[in-house]
Amino acid sequence: MNKIILVAQREFLTRVQKKTFLLTTIGVPLIIFAFYAAIIYFSIKTTDHFTVAVTDKGNIFNGKIDEKKSSEVIFTFVNDDTAALRTQLESGKFDAYLYVPATFSANSGDSLQFRSKKTVGLMTREKIQNRISKALEEKRLLSMNISKAQLDSIQEEKEYITFASTSGKTENQAKVGVSYAVGMISGFMIYIILFIYGAQVMRGVAEEKVNRIAEVIVSSVKPFQLMLGKITGIGAVGLVQFIIWAVLIFGIQLAVPLLFPGIAEQMQSQPIQPGAMGAANAVKQSGALNGLMAGLSEVNFPLIIGCFIFYFLGGYFTYAALFAAVGSATNEDPQDAQSLMLPIMMPIIFSIVIMMQAVNNPNGSIAVFGSLFPLTSPIVMMARIAHGIPDGVTVFQLILSMVFLVIGFMATTWMAAKIYRTGILMYGKKVSWKEMWKWAFKKG
Amino acid sequence: MGKILELHDLRKYYATQKAVDDISFSIEAGSIFGLLGPNGAGKTTLLRMITGIFYPDSGRITFDGAPFDPLNDVVKIGYMPEERGLYKKMKIGDQALYLAQLKGLSRAEAMEKIKFWFRRLEMESWWNKKVEDLSKGMSQKLQFVTTVLHEPKLIILDEPFSGLDPLNANLIKDEIFGLAQRGSTVIFSTHRMEQVEEICDHIVLVNLGHKVLDGSVASVKQQFKENKFSIQLQDVPANLQHPAFIIESQKKNSFVMKINEGYKSNDILQHFLQQQVTIESFQEILPSLNEIFIKLVEGSKATTRAFQPVTD
């Protein structure tokens, strides 16, 4: 036991002391943050105005196109003919013109002429199109004797059905959405952890073998202790890295509103879904935000975080042993590892497929199977647990899954240790899965 | 002095070969023991069983008077394997410290011993260097230090001089003698027979997984002697014919003679003394270990063994 700690300590310290560790641990969140900051900064910063001259011979806009504050597209109404507009456009008085002929009717299939000097950017084009078509739409509705208010009241989403489980709790629509997102994100996080740190274990073992230090170490430490120490050390690095990331991301989230006080309003004033529903959306948005908050408050975070740590560790230990076994079977040629890794990657990728199902249908038979089977449960169970107990998963199934995972971890570690013991001292030979299988199950 | 290590009927079979097939021998405490054999003879497997890395399929190992307990006894063993390396990116001081701690030394103890050995082998300035900056010979020296640092009762060195220049080889050789004098037992595995002759007290030769030779260097040489003598005379005598010997080669006034069955060396001397020839030198020619090795191993298909299926 003491030796496992010694090995783990070395693994942990050599990794943490590397410059790349600092770079990835602190650098990555900072880069992401800087990237977002840049995007936000530039989206606020755009002061370039795009002026459009509108000649409304058909009088379809009533001299007004819905103006939005801080919009970069400005419509000015003029009364010139196309030739005059063209010369003014050439002289640079405005950036584009829109000509509405007198015969234009919103209800017929006529289209309007929009001429610009330079090519109009995609974003600007979309904004212009949205606002003009919205104005035209209103016109068409009025011609059919439907007022805007009437339309809004029809389009307003009403909940005709209330979904509730037998437990009697009413399910908030937003809560299901939040559960979906939480399940998805935590599932994917475990998926990434398994790959990143699993691969690190594999590379570490292969390095020890290629450097020929394995036999030196194994003469003072049992191979099993060496393997477990390595896995523990790298797992600790992963845990520390994740905690630092979590702290940094949380800190940055707090810092952003302080650094950019205008951001919150800016974000809300920008329509997410342009279209006929634009106006209605703005109203609904704040409602959705409240719903989201309500949904978040209903998610059982202590349970999810607890389970996340359990399945993170359980999944990591289960797979890390397998990755170590593959690492021990590789030689100087890193290509060997590629083909040997495939059978380990399959269940991980398969887990993601099942997880996609499970977030939608946490009690489907595939989801239940996936959340119990130890090779897929770390990822799949996160999707189910996000829906809470007992809606997503029963206490019994959760405990069963945890027990299976612990058994699975012991089984893979036991098997991997035997492969590792033989593989780590086997030089110059290309090893197949068939041979590794033999090593794992031979006696002694 | 008692036996530090006794092997009884040790066996280890792999899927494709009998690596070690019924080998028994014992090693005196405080001696320098040579384990010899051609490539693939089973030496490494044997050493791995002695160091607790492999478990024998059958047979017993007695270490220091008690059944070998790999878990606790490994701290009394220092093993420098043939396939050896170090963590390339790790600092040399840290590396030595880590390996010493794995052998059960406390940090302070390890530190003290490392300092002692580094000073002794003039390696003090290396502490903060990385292994990748060392030459092969330098890292070999470091390997040696980490092997003997914890003052093991049994030191196992597999090809310890490969890659060392004569100066450093002598340095290590002297350390090996010193360690043996201070009571450690050294098992020394190599293909370089002249080193064995120089260093070892006792040897065992393995081939094809079997023990083919076991004895002290002197007794082995006696066992394989061919009763040859070199003699140098002042003049070439008239009569060189005598039933006691046949002349194998002659170079001016020096001869190599083989004594025939039933005669002794004194018979040769007598023959020349009777002829009033001055004998300038007379010496028995003992076979070198190299010759014995080649004689025993040659023709045994040792090199092709790795590809033979196991039949039994």
Cα separation, B259 vs A365, whole angstroms: 93
Nearest alpha carbon to residue A362 among A185, A243, A184, A109: A184
**How many angstroms separate the CA atoms of B57 and B47, rounded?**
14
CB contact, 8 Å: A84 with chain B?
no
Sorted by sequence, the CB contacts under 8 Å of residue A433 that are 6+ apart come out as A340, A343
Q: What is the pLDDT of residue A163?
A: 66
| A234 and A132 inside one domain | no
Contacts of B89 in chain A (CB under 8 A): 14
Q: Which CATH entry fits the domain spanning B226-285: 1.10.260, 3.40.50, 3.30.70, 2.60.40? A: 3.30.70
Q: How do the domains of chain B map onto residue ranges?
A: 3-222, 226-285
CB-CB: which of A10, A208, A427 is closest to B98? A10
- Where residue A83 sits, what CATH number does that domain have? 3.40.190.10
Residue A153 resides in a domain: no
Does residue A62 fall inside a structural domain? Answer: yes
Whether residue A433 sits in one domain with residue A331 = yes
CATH 3.40.50.300, domain B3-222, yes or no: yes
Q: What does the alpha-carbon distance between residue A277 and residue A275 come to, in Å, rounded to a whole number?
A: 5
Q: Provide the mean pLDDT of chain A.
A: 78
Give me the mean pLDDT over the A336-353 stretch. 86
Which of B83, B99, B155 best tests the A interface by mutation, with the highest count of A CBs <10 A?
B83
Q: Is A314 within 8 Å of A406 (Cβ atoms)?
A: yes
What b/e sequence results for B236-255 when a residue is b if at least 16 CB atoms lie within 10 Å of its CB, and e otherwise?
Answer: eeeebebebbeeeeeeeeeb
Q: How confident is the model at residue A421 (pLDDT cuts 50, 70, 90)?
A: confident
**Residues of chain A positioned with their CB less than 8 A from the CB of B146:** 216
Q: What is the pLDDT of residues B121-159, one digit of tens each?
A: 888 888 888 888 888 888 888 999 999 998 899 999 998
Residue A264: inside a domain = no
Pick the more confident residue, B115 or A278: B115
Q: Choose, out of A9, A215, A418, A437, the residue to mutate when testing the contact with B (most B CBs < 10 Å).
A: A215
pLDDT above 80 (res A365): yes
Distance separating alpha carbons of residues A19 and A25, to the nearest angstrom: 10
CB-based contact A216 B99, cutoff 8 Å: yes
Asked if residue B248 lies in contact with residue B228, where contact means CB atoms within 8 angstroms, the answer is: yes
B103 vs A contacts (CB less than 8 Å): 220
Chain A positions touching B105 (Cβ under 8 A) are none
The complex scores an ipTM of: 0.80
Summarised one tens digit per residue, pLDDT across range A208-252 is: 888 888 888 888 888 889 999 999 999 999 888 888 887 887 777
The count of CB pairs under 8 A between chains A and B is 61
pLDDT (mean) for B263-268: 84
B13/B45 Cα distance (integer angstroms): 10
The arrangement of strands across the sheet holding A113-116 comes to A73-78, A50-56, A96-100, A113-116
pLDDT per residue as tens digits for the range A81-122: 778 888 888 887 788 888 887 777 766 667 777 888 777 777
What range does the domain containing A113 cover? 50-146
Q: Are residues A142 and A74 in the same domain?
A: yes
| Tally of structural domains, chain A | 2
SS3 state at B188: strand
Contact A237, A267 (CB under 8 A): no
Q: How many angstroms away from the CA of B84 is the closest CA of chain A? A: 5
DSSP string, A249-313: HHHHHHHHHHH-TTHHHHHHHS-SS-STTHHHHHHHHHHHHHHHHHHHHHS-HHHHHHHHHHHHH
> Quick check: B300 and B207 in contact, CB under 8 A?
yes
Interface of chain B toward chain A, CB-CB under 8 angstroms: 15, 48, 51-53, 55, 57, 70-71, 74-75, 77, 79-81, 83-90, 98-99, 101-103, 143, 146
Tens digit of pLDDT for each residue in B53-77?
Answer: 888 889 999 998 889 988 888 889 9
Q: Specify whether A137 is located in the same domain as A182.
A: no
Note whether A430 and A342 are same-domain residues: yes
In a domain, A335, yes or no: yes
For the cut 80, the answer to whether the pLDDT of residue A71 exceeds it is no
Does A134 reside within a domain?
yes
Closest of A330, A441, A222, A414 to residue B15, by C-alpha: A441
- For residues A281 and A380, membership in a common domain is answered with yes
Same domain, A66 and A114: yes
Phi, psi of A256 (to 5 degrees): -60, -50
In A, which residues are within 8 Å of B134 by CB distance? none
Looking at the fold, whether A93 and A199 belong to one and the same domain comes out as no
In this structure, the answer to whether residues A314 and A403 fall within a common structural domain is yes
| Domain-embedded: residue A256 | no
Whether residue A239 sits in one domain with residue A190: yes
Whether residue A240 is found in the same domain as residue A387 = yes
8 Å CB contact between A257 and A33: no
| Pairwise CA distance, residues B157 & A58, whole Å | 101
